[in-house]
Amino acid sequence: MDSFTRFIPDGNELDAGAIGAAGLAALPFPEWASPDDIVAVGRLAGAERAELWSCQHQQEPHHLAGLSLDDAGRQSFDLGYAHVLVAFESAETYVWQPLDHEFFVVFAPPPILETIRSAGLFPHDFHAYAREDYFRGARSDYLVTMESRYTVVPS
DSSP for 34-59 reads: -HHHHHHHHHHHT-SEEEEEEE-TTS
Give residue 123's pLDDT band: very low, low, confident or very high (50, 70, 90).
Answer: confident
Domain ranges of the chain: 3-150
pLDDT digits (tens, 9 = 90+) for 145-154: 999 999 999 8
pTM above 0.85, yes or no: yes
- pLDDT tens string 132-143: 888 888 989 999
Instruction: Give per-residue pLDDT as tens, 36-57.
Output: 999 999 999 999 999 999 998 7
Secondary structure element (H or E) that encloses residue 27, with its range: strand 25-30
Q: What's the pLDDT band for 21 if we cut at 50, 70, 90?
A: very high
**Ramachandran area for residue 120 (φ above 0: left; ψ -120 to 50: alpha; else beta):** left
Q: What is the pLDDT of residue 1?
A: 66
For the stretch 61-113, pLDDT in tens is: 999 999 999 999 999 999 988 999 999 988 999 999 998 878 999 999 999 99
